[in-house]
Structure 1
Amino acid sequence: MRDLTDTTITEAVISTVREAKDARLAAILEALVRHAHDFVRETGLTEQEWARGMDFLTRTGQKCTPTRQEFILLSDVLGITMLVDALGNRRAAESTQNSVLGPFFRDDRPQAADGSDISAGLPGTPFFFEGLVTDDHGAPVANAGVDVWHSDADGHYDVDVPGLSDPAMRALLRTDGEGRFRFRSIRPSSYPIPDDGPVGEMMRATGRSVMRPAHLHVMIAAEGFQRVTTMLFPADDLYLDQDPVFGVKQSLVTDYASHPAGMGPYGTRTDEPYTLLRHTFVLEPGRSAHDPRPS
């Protein structure tokens, strides 16, 4: 362990983790050390650059709160979150594809009856959703737990709406005997990721857009099927090809159809134009899932 050089230090460090009782932990730490050391050598990292990097990571941790996770945001914009998701959720082409969970899921969402208005009276374009959940043979999946959540017309989730204390624009629904579920809300909007912290500094330094395309989050869990965590994006959104968290998949881009004012779905009359979105979700058989919640 003495007189280590830039070419021998890597193996010396790796030798200290190989005997870990957890073989998986040892393998991960070995790969981490090897790739991190190779990164330093490849870039010729200077002491000043190393110090700036440590400061960036320190401030990233300091920005985290119970309602904001700057490290997850950093993982998102570096594509790591989506890469982990892609490796862990390989799906058949006909099945609904996964996407990132995002930071705005809440366990304290209310349960809602079929066809409920979950907007909490917030202003925006009326938004109607009609969903169908099936297996990979087209048979309906009954009693599936379906979590939905989305932003308001200004791109804010309920946790960021001033003066709003109760959950809004989110709910846990159940599919009926035909695999169907419905709800009413307001149309979600595109929005910027939080850019007032270290991640925002990095985005500006690299000239990247911070705008996420509008989307509806949907997470579905049913006994005997793999859980799916996904999003649905409007086909006409301006930011589909510059999503800073790399979450857009072509199969998740769909038609947010606009309709004139009048009699809308569920026998509901609207005094302004509304949006209707219909979508079928196809689940793959697999390990039984419980009600949706982050893993």
Structure 2
Amino acid sequence: MTVDESVATAAASGANATQRFATDKRVVADTPPERVSMLAREVLSAVHATIRDHQVTYDEYNALKSWLIQVGQDGEWPLFLDVWVEHVVEEVASESRDGSKGTIEGPYYVPEAPELGSEAWLPTRDGEQGTPLLFEGQVRSVDGTPLSGATLEIWHADADGFYSQFAPGIPEWNLRGTVTADADGRFHIHTMKPAPYQIPTDGACGKLISAAGWHPWRPAHLHLKVGAQGCQQITTQLYFPGDPHNDDDVASAVKPELVLDPQDIDGGQQVTYDFVLDREATS
């Protein structure tokens, strides 16, 4: 069973991503005015410098205004920011954290996925397309202690490159779940290998990509949020070797430490990847 790509539009994905952000994210509203002023002024100064350095014309300025309006109308601000900005925010946020590497969350996370235990089969449709994948490993702290009861939220695209709850025709929790590690911090997740995909290109972000001569591809990846009591949660993505866009991911999210080493097994592939979590800072 596959999703008809012609009905999985940028407008639909953008609207869903915007709605999910409004529903799921708590926006911190108590940032001191002096910091808001400093950040806003520096961003605007960078824009002003670009205009001066490159002698931006009124036609180019009006094209930018039109495009910014279209980004909002398409509901693509979560997509735009998560693809082209978030990787730097993640870099700054994690620079002092030890343990496993993280990377961007992206626009397609949904909280409260079904709880599945330590030996987990992610929900799938009858006849779900793709290569069966067994993903297993252990969650430990930086001192090597296995983290019993660690939680792993996992979600990923299907073999057509679509995410449940963001494209039509896919069951609500397809290829999404919350896994709880066993007493030794170990987990075993049965799923289907995801496919590379293009970010939506029929909306404003696609117009930018086309105008700039860029490509819209993300390499195949698994998304995870991994946490345990007393430890800092990490958000990450894991990639597969040989993908042509590991080196030029449109979202700039691939790190060498996040590339898996899959092994062929009867009927599919198996990967082992351990997570090492840093302890929470103590005051």
| The two structures share one fold, judged by TM-score above 0.5 | yes
Does residue 27 in structure 1 map to residue 41 in structure 2? no
Residues 209-264 of structure 1, C-alpha deviations (whole Å, 9 max, x = no match): 2111111111112222111000110112222112100000000011122213xxxx
Cα distance in 2, alignment partners of residues 172 and 138 from structure 1: 23
Cα distance in 1, alignment partners of residues 35 and 277 from structure 2: 30
What letter corresponds to residue 245 of structure 2 in structure 1? Y
Cα distance in 1, alignment partners of residues 209 and 275 from structure 2: 34
**What is the match of residue 207 of structure 1?**
213
What letter corresponds to residue 90 of structure 1 in structure 2? E
Q: Looking at CA atoms only, which structure, 1 or 2, has the larger radius of gyration?
A: 1
- Structure 2 segments unaligned to the other structure (5+ residues): 1-30
Q: Which moved more, 1:107-116 or 1:227-236?
A: 107-116
Contact kept in structure 1, 2:133 and 2:191, CA below 8 Å: yes
Q: Which moved more, 1:36-45 or 1:178-187?
A: 36-45
Using the TM superposition, give the Cα deviation of residue 52 of structure 1 relative to its aligned residue in structure 2, in angstroms.
Answer: 0.7
**What is the match of residue 85 of structure 1?**
90
Relative to structure 1, the CA distance from residue 274 to residue 161 in structure 2 (aligned partners, 3 Å threshold; closer, same or farther) is farther
**What is the match of residue 257 of structure 2?**
251
What letter corresponds to residue 153 of structure 2 in structure 1? D
Does residue 152 in structure 1 map to residue 161 in structure 2? no
Higher RCO (CA < 8 A, seq sep 6+): 2
SS of residue matched to 2:206 = helix
Matches within 5 A, 1:223-262: 223-260=229-266
Cα distance in 1, alignment partners of residues 118 and 279 from structure 2: 25
Identity %: 29
Residues 249-294 of structure 1, C-alpha deviations (whole Å, 9 max, x = no match): 000011122213xxxxxxxxxxxx2111111011111259xxxxxx
Matches within 5 A, 1:114-133: 114-121=118-125, 122-133=128-139
Number of equivalenced pairs: 250
What letter corresponds to residue 93 of structure 2 in structure 1? G
Contact kept in structure 1, 2:82 and 2:107, CA below 8 Å: no
Using the TM superposition, give the Cα deviation of residue 147 of structure 1 relative to its aligned residue in structure 2, in angstroms.
Answer: 0.3
Using the TM superposition, give the Cα deviation of residue 73 of structure 1 relative to its aligned residue in structure 2, in angstroms.
Answer: 2.3
What letter corresponds to residue 103 of structure 2 in structure 1? S
Relative to structure 1, the CA distance from residue 208 to residue 184 in structure 2 (aligned partners, 3 Å threshold; closer, same or farther) is same
Cα distance in 1, alignment partners of residues 160 and 264 from structure 2: 18
- Structure 1 segments unaligned to the other structure (5+ residues): 1-19, 65-69, 261-272, 289-295
